Amino acid sequence: MELLVPKRQSVSIELNGERVACASAVKCVCVKERRAIRAFGEVEAVAWLERSPSYRLELSQLSVPGQIGRSSLWEMSDFRLVTVQDGVRTVYSGCEWQELTERADAGDGFLAEHAVMTARKRSREEEPV
């Protein structure tokens, strides 16, 4: 019998290829929209317009390891979220902040207890061993 022990998951936010923040966990919801196209006065759709999927990402315990300031993080736009789990790297690009719930405990390093963002694109790749 083989026992599989999952590797530790890492979640980080990158701007221009540099890691600027990390989170303890991420939850992703993928939404794909379809819109009916109807001829004038018709009830039945003549075609369907499919949009690219969008991704809603919820982060827990977002922290900043170093130089970037709190306001700089909140002002970021069009950044990447990278998760690595069991050797698979998932990159969400075109990210934008939607919601940040701040927590102000002294000395713990957390900037946000909960953060929500959207991403335009998702790609996956195997990490080299």
- CA–centroid distance for 24 within its chain: 13
Inside any domain, residue 5: no
Answer whether residue 2 is part of any domain: no
The answer to whether residue 3 sits within a structural domain is: no
Q: Domain for residue 69, yes or no? A: yes
Q: What is the mean pLDDT of residues 36-59?
A: 89
The answer to whether residue 79 sits within a structural domain is yes
Asked if the structure places residue 4 within a domain, the reply is no
Report yes or no on 42 lying in a domain.
Answer: yes
Would you state the pLDDT for residue 31? 87
Distances 50 to 6, 20, 32, 33, 121 between C-alpha atoms, Å: 36, 34, 8, 6, 15
58: pLDDT strictly greater than 50: yes
Total tally of structural domains belonging to the chain = 1
Question: Is 63 inside any structural domain?
Answer: yes
In angstroms, rounded to a whole number, what is the distance separating the alpha carbons of residues 115 and 10?
16
Give the domain CATH number at 17.
2.40.30
Query: What is the share, in percent, of the chain residues with pLDDT greater than 70?
Result: 78
Q: Where are the alpha helices (DSSP H) in the chain?
A: 70-75
Each residue's pLDDT tens digit, 63-102: 776 655 555 677 888 888 888 887 788 899 999 999 888 7
User: Can you give the residue range of the structural domain that contains 32?
Assistant: 10-126
